[in-house]
Chain A
């Protein structure tokens, strides 16, 4: 049940800000006791569901630009290969510290505006 609630909140947050909600899911799964690598991998897969649902929802309003999505999405898919490769070679502790820095930066940007 807590996992469904995490998803609910992440989807809400994701749709509101046009992101997948991973910044919510990953810390929440770690908090529930998952290893950081498992949390990140599970989050990424779950985000796929959020992203597909969100894209269909917004396509209804005619706001999805497919060519632009491919322009950033295809290089990003290549980047994801490198990212997962690196992740397997980093210690969980290092990964979590880097993620904390990323979240703090996002948080500061949101607060400052």
Chain B
């Protein structure tokens, strides 16, 4: 029964990943904890579970022409450094001490996005102000 629930949570995580461009780790970690892994194992395993989601999602999105590959490589390069720093830190501290800080950050981001969505509703698409169509080209930044 736990396994069925874990599969269902996995599928839901995939829908969120496809819709919003998040990897699905948000739901993977609790599902894996439910299956009996400890926190560190769940977080580590979650990262591997993200890989097939990204492969399928990117394949579809690439066909829709939505991926800016120049930005992908830059984000990836930055994140490689970040992963090492974050990983080393996670092995040494309880992430709980940073949780509240990140929680507040998420709420602030949510309010900002909500404001943009609401403003977009009044002024029509595109909703991202005067900078809406600027491409993330390789020449910039």
Complexed CA–CA distance, A73 and B55 (Å): 11
Q: How far is the CA of A22 from the CA of B131 in the complex (A)?
A: 22
B106 → A minimal CB distance (Å): 3
- A82 near B18: Cβ-Cβ < 8 Å: yes
Q: A4-B74, A8-B81, A93-B121 are contacts. A23–B22 as well, Cβ < 8 Å?
A: yes
Question: Given that A83-B16, A97-B114, A99-B113 are known contacts, is A58 also in contact with B85, CB under 8 Å in the complex?
Answer: no
A110 touches B18 (CB 8 A): no
Contact B64 A107 (CB under 8 A): no
CB <8 Å contact, A107 and B44: no
CB pair A53 B83 closer than 8 Å: yes
Mark A49-73 against chain B: 1 for CB-CB distance below 8 A, else 0.
1111111011101011110111111
**Max chain A CB contacts within 10 Å: which of B23, B84, B114?**
B23
Number of residues on chain B facing chain A (CB within 8 A): 108
CA distance A6 to B77 in the complex (A): 10
Most chain B Cβ neighbours within 10 Å, of A44, A91, A92, A110:
A44
Interface string of A75-113 (1 = CB under 8 A from B): 111111111111110111111111111111011111111
For A27, list chain B residues within 8 Å (CB): 109, 112-113
Residues of A contacting B68 in the complex (Cβ-Cβ under 8 angstroms):
34, 38, 42
Within 8 A of B (CB), among A8-29: 8-23, 25-27, 29
